[in-house]
Amino acid sequence: MGTFRPKSVDLISLMQSGNMDYAWEYLSVAEQHGLRYVTIPDEINLGNYEFDANYATAIVDVSGSEPGQTMQMVGGSITYGVTLVNDRPNPAAAEAFLQYLLDPDNGLKILESMGQPPFVPARVPTQAMYDALPRSIQALVEVHN
């Protein structure tokens, strides 16, 4: 029988205290807490959107918000994104932050070291999105769907 917690990081103290032998965690959690880990292939690890069709074959029932209620969760890739808000209060600072974050020698390097392997270069899914970006950001991304 497994141990379930509302937040996966709650399992860290159980692992570190020796009260649990293993846990299913994000790579970033393992890296940031100095845990030993094994990696699993892209075909099943939910980390590569190119395998979304395969991930969608994993369907599990989980507890709902009401006792006795369940909901189906369908597998899909887990990816993170960042956006530049149109009506940002400080456009120069927002652009500078994205320049730093999306730079392979700065922000992307930090993400990699923290177990969050980024796409290098960063990606946008459409040419229209690319065209809407400031030129300084365009230099750090590519169109890739």
> How confident is the model at residue 25, as a pLDDT?
85
| pLDDT tens, residue by residue, 85-130 | 889 999 999 999 999 999 999 999 999 999 898 999 999 999 999 9
Q: Which of 63, 68, 44, 64 is nearest to 54 (CA)?
A: 44
For residue 4, name the pLDDT band (cuts at 50, 70, 90): low
CB-side neighbour CA atoms (13 Å) of 89: 0
Residue 1 has pLDDT above 60, yes or no: no
